[in-house]
């Protein structure tokens, strides 16, 4: 008699770099999903390589077969914001479900909304009434205070801090260690430099650095 394999807890991770490693670690610590393997669509030569306690299964060409074999969950674990949003949609269109991955040592208040495909790293604190969109990264030890709105595909980098009522537009990057004053609005695809202190609104698509943060003059 043939044994059927239950793959309903198997997770495919798209990405095979440092960010994928930390996402995989959070998955293992959470204990809810099993890592079926990783996708590297950039370096075809890595197919079959051991990686992150599992294996690189190939590029995007193997995704449909994995779905057909019963793998139900998939997650885009790449740092580039635009790519993460795009790959997340490719996975949804292929019929996968995208989990929310929250490291068990993150603190997330009751009732906080987290969109699918979003990753919350170890040491983060997310406060009440925050609303975090899809495919967001809230990275190591970042904090997102009450009533913040984080748009799809944004990245709050390690050690960044958002005070209450801050809004962050789609695919914006809040750089490592940056601090954002309460009620500030940061536009879509804006980049906040490492270590910045943001005390004024930042327009979409601009880069702002420094203490206090200023939009770069070449923009
Ligand atoms: C702001 C940033 C995007 C600029 O990158 P860039 O366009 O490649 O800029 P460069 O490194 O060429 O630097 C250009 C100038 O800006 C300065 N600069 C760069 N980053 C800065 C920062 N965060 N704060 C203040 N000044 C900064 C440089 O010293 C340089 O000054 P100079 O022209 O007087 O020498 C980048 O430095 C940064 O901070 N990115 C955040 C990255 C991050 O946190 N990623 C998270 C990974 S998990």
**What digits encode the pLDDT tens for the residues 63-89?**
999 999 999 999 999 999 999 999 999
- Distance from residue 177's CA to the centre of ligand 1 (Å): 13
CATH architecture of 100-213: 3 Solenoid (2.160)
Q: What does the pLDDT look like over 191-216, one tens digit per residue? A: 999 999 999 999 999 999 999 999 99
Domains 10-99 and 100-213 share a fold: no
pTM higher than 0.75 for the full model?
Answer: yes
Question: In the chain, where are the structural domains located?
Answer: 10-99, 100-213
**Residues for the chain: how many in total?**
219
Query: Own/partner pairs for 63-67, CB < 8 Å, 24+ apart?
Result: 63/12, 63/39, 63/90, 63/91, 63/94, 64/94, 66/12, 66/36, 66/37, 67/94, 67/95, 67/96
Establish whether residue 120 lines the binding site of ligand 1, counting it when its CB lies within 6 angstroms of any ligand atom.
Answer: no
Establish whether residue 193 lines the binding site of ligand 1, counting it when its CB lies within 6 angstroms of any ligand atom.
Answer: yes
Establish whether residue 81 lines the binding site of ligand 1, counting it when its CB lies within 6 angstroms of any ligand atom.
Answer: no
CATH number of 10-99: 3.40.50.20
């Amino acid at each position: 008699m043939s044994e059927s394999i239950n793959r309903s807890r198997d997770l495919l991770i798209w990405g095979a770099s440092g960010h994928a490693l930390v996402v995989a670690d959070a998955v293992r610590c959470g204990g809810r999903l099993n890592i079926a393997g990783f996708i590297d669509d950039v370096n075809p030569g890595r197919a079959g390589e051991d990686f992150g306690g599992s294996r690189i299964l190939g590029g995007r060409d193997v995704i449909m077969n994995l779905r057909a074999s019963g793998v139900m969950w998939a997650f885009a674990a790449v740092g580039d914001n635009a790519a993460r949003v795009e790959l997340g949609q490719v996975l949804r269109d292929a019929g996968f479900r995208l989990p929310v991955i929250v490291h068990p040592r993150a603190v997330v208040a009751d009732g906080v909304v987290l969109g699918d495909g979003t990753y919350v790293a170890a040491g983060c604190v997310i406060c009440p009434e925050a609303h975090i969109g899809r495919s967001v990264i809230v990275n190591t030890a970042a904090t997102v205070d009450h009533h913040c709105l984080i748009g799809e595909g944004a990245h709050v980098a390690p050690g960044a801090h958002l005070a209450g009522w801050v809004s962050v537009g789609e695919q914006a990057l809040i750089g490592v260690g940056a601090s954002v004053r309460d009620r500030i609005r940061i536009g879509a695809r804006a980049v906040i430099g490492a270590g910045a202190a943001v005390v004024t609104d930042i327009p979409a698509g601009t880069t702002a650095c420094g203490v206090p943060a200023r939009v770069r003059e070449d923009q």
